[in-house]
Structure 1
Amino acid sequence: MCPLYPLQYILMYLILLWPLWLFTCVLAYELPKLSVQYEFENITVEMDKAKEVNFQINNLKENSISSINILSKDPDILKVERQIVFDDANYDMNYLNSSFNATGVWLGKTEVFIQAINQKNEKINITKTLPATVIRKDRVIDHIFTGSVITLVSILYINFGCALDWSYLKETIKKPIGPVIGFFGQFLIMPVLSFVLGRSLFPDSPALQLGMFFTGVSPAGGASNIWTYILGGNINLSIAMTTISTFAAFGMMPLWIFTLGRVIFNSSDSLKVPYMKIGQFAFALVVPLAIGYLIQKYAPNFCKIMVRILKPLASFLLLFIIIFAVVTNTYLFDLFSWRMVVAGLGLPWLGYLLGMVSAIILKQNAKDVLAISIETGIQNTGIAIFLLRITLQQPEADLTTVVPVAVAVMTPFPLMLLFFVKKCRARYNQKKTVLHIMENGRDLEDKQHVETLTANQ
């Protein structure tokens, strides 16, 4: 029997606990950590603008801090460069009240952090960071562009109302082969196609996938009517298809967003289908057409003038939209990559091909094939941009609009090529006719015809 019994057990426990006690003592004497308090919980800065932020750092003296650096985690989004060096005059300070300027460089989100350097030249990163968001300034030119397009499109649709064959529109509704093809392509194939393209091209960016998907579910817009008219397609069928697809969008857009769109969204709580915007678009489409109809019925002479200026006005509107859109959204072109180009090309061009093949299989005439192809391929990128802006917060709302902008930029290229080919072909046929008449050496009327054709060239 041990003479210390039962004290030996107590001594054994004390010996075992000795290292733990020493470790606890070390922790008890650990230096107080650096801490920072920012003036704001987070900051929002406009591009090319600076924002001043006040802050306070504590426990400087205990940690022997010699300098402080304020930095941005992503200088390409937010620029922050500030260094504070402690000299003999302020070395005894245990806290610091100061400020720094954060300058917005590009759209996006990042964080500001503070890095302290002690006398041993060791870097100490303060854990607490300041979230920062860089957005684009709301400019007057954006509102001017929107207002100008709305005004010009309204005038153009009055002209369409003057030129529209209303009896043909009634027949189209009775035998809606073209509109059915357009509906199938616009609201069944294009949403699935846009979803697949978005998932394939932007697997790591749900926001860009959403931009692609919203572009695919948007109904066809007025640009399809303009291009159909310029290229010599069936304008009556084109307007009928646009009108039907616009009203069908009330049911089809929510259907797609709340079904296939759920794969992109984590939840449906943030989904906002712009019923009011679609209703305004439909109203803005129907009312000018009705005005044109009234002009056609009650002012036939004025109607002839409106029809005569239709083609030049349509051409001017297309150029205006393309040029002005590029000028007002030049910042988006910095986001263009080969994936963005493929997305912009793939959606409308596959839509053209789909519409054309479907119309040919169903034995439509050439003008109807052209109208159906254009109507299927062209998306209303304005509605897509609006959907993105009301669904996402900034700067994601601006960043994701690069997808519909890419689609809008790439959409006209095959149509412009077709227009150029048609013009060259018409000019060639005209010259061929002139040479044929000259070679046959006909009478004076033929010679006068030759002179007229030559003058027209």
Structure 2
Amino acid sequence: MVSMGCTMEISKIKKNILKPKGVAIAIVAQYGVMPLTGFTLSKAFQLQGLMAVAVLICGCSPGGAFSNVATLALKGDMNLSIVMTTCSTVLALGMMPLLLYLYCQGFPNLHKLVPYAQIVASLAMILVPCGIGIMINHYRPKYANIFMKVGVITLCACVIVVILLLFIDMGSTWLTVLHPSLMAICVIMPMIGYSFGYIISLLFRLNHSQRRTVAMETGCQNIQLCAAILKVAFPPAEMGPLFMLPMVFGLFQITETTILVILFRCYERFAGEKKEPCQPVTDDNVNEPLKKLNADKPEGPQLL
């Protein structure tokens, strides 16, 4: 997060705050598309009881820090991304109870179990290191590039290690203990968030980098909050393997984002190679039109 803060500028942060068009679009997509997607998928796959509640909790969560990582990898607008994540996390203090109350009518006390302390902690873990990175970029810009490179390398190494540890620790257990419908929802739900976030931002005529940013902010959920609510709301014996749902959801979220990043980088490189290089300006290039004009005029003084 410090390295991401090093990519931000105070002037651009102020611009996103004073003209919050992109932030507003992302918040509407985050708290409008994802809860409705979770509700629709739970009905489409005919989930009942705790399985439906677990999916809805994932859908009602705000965007996490992983959306900032994905935005950086997709060359999105980092200033907009951090402001979006901050706003969605702050609004989660009120939106999560409201959405859980609306969508989980069969569990009347569930909206009272929102982990407010963990939401505030998530907010602090975003703002404090990003603030440090912003100060480094503002007062010591020559060190910002070093921090960014070290942070990205460390992040990539940590993600690879975490994924490997998950597979080593869990193996194929989650394939056998989780319901096939839940596995399908974990695959479909993030992609729906990415797609609708991009489409909505396209309709509101945001630029390309902002579209990618809104798409990542919409599809990436804070799975730590999902796991915290499930842990507080229900005893382990009652939940059983459903405790693994946020972890599996996050794993597919990372996998699909990685595929999108690879496709985007390949497209960017292919499109860059297809562009015709600009012809350098020389004296011959400048004088060529004049020479042709003089050739058409055999009489009279020629243009120099």
**TM-score, structure 1 length as denominator?**
0.56
Task: Choose which of 133, 151, 154 in structure 2 pairs with 1:292.
Answer: 133
SS of the residue corresponding to residue 309 of structure 1 reads helix
By relative contact order (CA 8 Å, sep 6+), the higher-ranking structure is 2
Is 1:400 matched with 2:242? yes
Contact 2:63 2:85 (8 Å CA) reproduced = yes
| 1:232-247 pair list within 5 angstroms | 232-247=75-90
Check 1:353–1:422 CA distance in 2 against 1; reply closer, same or farther (3 A cut): closer
- Runs of 5+ consecutive residues of structure 1 not aligned to the other structure: 1-156, 441-457
Contact 1:224 1:378 (8 Å CA) reproduced = yes
Is 1:219 matched with 2:62? yes
Is 1:315 matched with 2:169? no
1:277 equivalent in structure 2: 118
| 1:342-421 pair list within 5 angstroms | 342-421=184-263
The one-letter code matched in structure 2 to 1:182 is A
Task: Choose which of 413, 420, 424 in structure 1 pairs with 2:266.
Answer: 424
SS of the residue corresponding to residue 395 of structure 1 reads helix
Contact 1:243 1:285 (8 Å CA) reproduced = yes
Check 1:433–1:219 CA distance in 2 against 1; reply closer, same or farther (3 A cut): closer
2:14 equivalent in structure 1: 170
SS of the residue corresponding to residue 188 of structure 1 reads helix
Check 1:268–1:351 CA distance in 2 against 1; reply closer, same or farther (3 A cut): same
Q: How many residues align?
A: 278
In 2, Cα distance between the equivalents of 1:428 and 1:170? Answer: 35
Check 1:235–1:387 CA distance in 2 against 1; reply closer, same or farther (3 A cut): same
Check 1:399–1:228 CA distance in 2 against 1; reply closer, same or farther (3 A cut): same
The one-letter code matched in structure 1 to 2:130 is L
Shift of 1:202: 4.6
In 2, Cα distance between the equivalents of 1:296 and 1:422? Answer: 27
Highest CA radius of gyration, 1 or 2? 1
Shift of 1:419: 2.4
1:342-372 deviation per Cα after TM superposition (whole angstroms, max 9, x unaligned)? 2112211111111111011101111111111
Task: Choose which of 170, 180, 184 in structure 2 pairs with 1:338.
Answer: 180
Contact 2:196 2:215 (8 Å CA) reproduced = yes
**TM-score, structure 2 length as denominator?**
0.82
RMSD: 2.6
Shift of 1:398: 4.8
Q: Which structure is higher in strand share? A: 1
1:402-448 deviation per Cα after TM superposition (whole angstroms, max 9, x unaligned)? 332332122234432332233334554676689x89xx9xxxxxxxx
Contact 1:230 1:314 (8 Å CA) reproduced = no
1:11-37 deviation per Cα after TM superposition (whole angstroms, max 9, x unaligned)? xxxxxxxxxxxxxxxxxxxxxxxxxxx
1:190 equivalent in structure 2: 34
Task: Choose which of 219, 228, 238 in structure 1 pairs with 2:71.
Answer: 228
In 2, Cα distance between the equivalents of 1:202 and 1:332? Answer: 20
Contact 1:221 1:378 (8 Å CA) reproduced = yes
1:282-314 deviation per Cα after TM superposition (whole angstroms, max 9, x unaligned)? 111111112222323443333231123343334
Q: Which structure is higher in helix share? A: 2
Contact 1:340 1:406 (8 Å CA) reproduced = no
| 1:96-107 pair list within 5 angstroms | none
2:282 equivalent in structure 1: none
Shift of 1:328: 3.8
1:157-198 deviation per Cα after TM superposition (whole angstroms, max 9, x unaligned)? 111122212211110111111111111111122112212222
In 2, Cα distance between the equivalents of 1:188 and 1:431? Answer: 39
- Runs of 5+ consecutive residues of structure 2 not aligned to the other structure: 280-304
Identity %: 25
